Amino acid sequence: MKNTSYKNKQFVLLGMTFLSVAGIAGCSKVELAQSTVTLELGDELSENVADYLQDPDEKILKGASLDLSAVDETKVGSYNAAVAYDGKNYPFTVEVKDTTSPQCKAKDYIYMQPGTLIVDDLVTEIKDASETSSGIVSCERKDDLAACDYDDMLQKKAVVDTTDSYDEADYQESVQLDEEGCYEVTAQVKDSEGNFTDITLNVYVDGTAPELAQNVIDLDVDASVISIDDINTDDAEKIADMLHELPDFSNAEWAAASDAFCGDNAISYEYEQKSFNLQKENPVEVLNVHCTVQDQAGNEKKADYEVTVTYTGLDAAALIEKTGLILQTSDDTANEKKPEVVIINLEQQILKKFQRLVKIRM
């Protein structure tokens, strides 16, 4: 009996061991990590089956497959998906949603002439996975332009937030700003899922052009570098070229600008010769200078000035003698000799040369 009992015990133990090993070998169980997976529109859905299972063992990972064929990641909606393993499907749902507000770039401020302000002037770039619409939703005049400061304007930053939602029926494509002053304007961008972004900035309206005042009346140019010996008797055009190569007008400040608001006014110049006289002492040229000033809003004013350019250091008497140019002297009245005044009119060839329009942009 004792031996039989011992053998029975051995048999029972061996049987329990076999069942335990068989159980371990065949107990792989597929369990989904979640029944619903949420995907933000614009993101990519994982194609790794392990991301959809709860603690899968190696055997399951080797044998399981993922079916996402019915999911459209580019459209908001609810889609069916499944994990397949050992001939059985384990279905789950993929919810594609758009919960992200539009990303917007906007100007920090606008400085403009009186006129029409459109929403595209404010919002320069929109990024969103869904379709969007936009419009101006608020416009309020805050101050007179005289109460504002140009340097303060340059430091302004647009405010971008998601605080107030507006009905799309309130969207305006444009607003009319005909009165000078500082305005606070808000535009809103909203996507088809109702997510929105507000952009608020200051708009400065200026309709007054800057003032111009003549800054240069007389200008001396050193012509001593020109040697009379280098000038041929009949080379009139060379004389013109030599003299006109001397002045550096590229940085000449012919006029000064002032503006009640704008602190950054651009001045451009064009000039042409009005007259040129080669006198005994110094050649003198009179220029017609055409000035244009424009502020950063686009307001513009023009003015014309005469500038006298005197070429100093040139031996004009020697030049007169060498070139044989025509002399004009004053008349003797009542046999009374008057001091001689010498004015040399350049030959027609030189006159044409100097009357060429010269443009300077500053």
Element (H, E) at 359: strand 358-360
How many CB atoms are located within 10 Å of the residue 323 CB?
20
Q: Which two tokens stand for residue 85?
A: 């393993």
Contact 203, 106 (CB under 8 A): no
Architecture (CATH level 2) of domain 33-97 = Sandwich (2.60)
* Start-end of CATH 2.60.40.10 domains in the chain: 33-97
Q: Which two tokens stand for residue 180?
A: 């000078």
pLDDT tens, per residue, the chain with 362 residues: 344 444 443 433 333 333 333 344 455 789 999 999 999 999 999 999 999 999 999 999 999 999 999 999 999 999 999 999 999 999 999 999 999 999 999 999 999 999 999 999 999 999 999 999 999 999 999 999 999 999 999 999 999 999 888 999 899 999 999 999 999 999 999 999 999 999 999 999 999 999 999 988 888 888 888 777 766 645 555 665 677 677 767 667 889 999 999 999 999 988 887 887 766 678 788 889 999 999 999 999 999 999 998 888 877 777 777 666 533 333 333 344 333 333 333 334 444 444 443 333 33
Q: Which residue type sits at 268? A: S
HSE-CB for 165 with a 13 A CA cutoff: 8
Fold exhibited by the domain 103-205: Immunoglobulin-like (2.60.40)
Q: Cα separation of 40 and 64, whole Å?
A: 26
